[in-house]
Amino acid sequence: MKTVLGLMGRGGEGPRKGEKMKTVLGILLFVPCIVFSTVELVWAIQLDQNCEGYLKRAADANTVEMAKEELGKAIEYAEEKKLTEGYTSILYKTPNEDVGFWYKNLKASSDELGRVKPETPQLERTNILMKLRETLLDSNDGKTSVTVPPGISKYPYNTAWAFVLTLAVVAAIAGAILICVDNFE
């Protein structure tokens, strides 16, 4: 009954101004979390469109020429975005997060494709394409995925991103608490 009367205010005039402000503030505290989640999604899409997609196409290519062209696009993006060295991890370094190794592997694959000449036998060309496919793709639990370091879509801002996202999550939790407390008084 107290909640109903509190929401109605004096004389049935609706919620008090202070209660409305708490609810609005609580909702606004969710905004950073939504914004950062959207930015993260956009970065992931951009990486997929400009790098991972071309790596997948290079792995699927039936000719050395097609593979070289597609791999070249992915390498160009990696160089443009400075995805050439470092680690995507924040607290500790693990081999799968080594951006430098990943980039050098892409370059080595490109160099190997570049050494193929018109007189290179078809069997050797096929072996090179098979090796490229094994380099660019991973298979886990029957699913095939492009080999990229985890967290590379946010690289080189991984540390700052983790800090800001943590603040946004804390703000969202504070907003939820504010809304819940305000509505259950």
pLDDT at 183: 61
| Site of tokens 């603040």 | 167
- What's the pTM? 0.79
pLDDT at 119: 93
pLDDT at 185: 58
Residue pair 171/33 in contact (Cβ under 8 Å)? The answer is yes
| Site of tokens 């496919």 | 133
Query: What Rg value do the Cα atoms of the chain yield, rounded?
Result: 26
Amino acid code (one letter) for 106:
L
Parts of the chain with a pLDDT under 50: 1-12
pLDDT at 85: 95
pLDDT at 184: 62
List the domain boundaries for the chain: 2-184
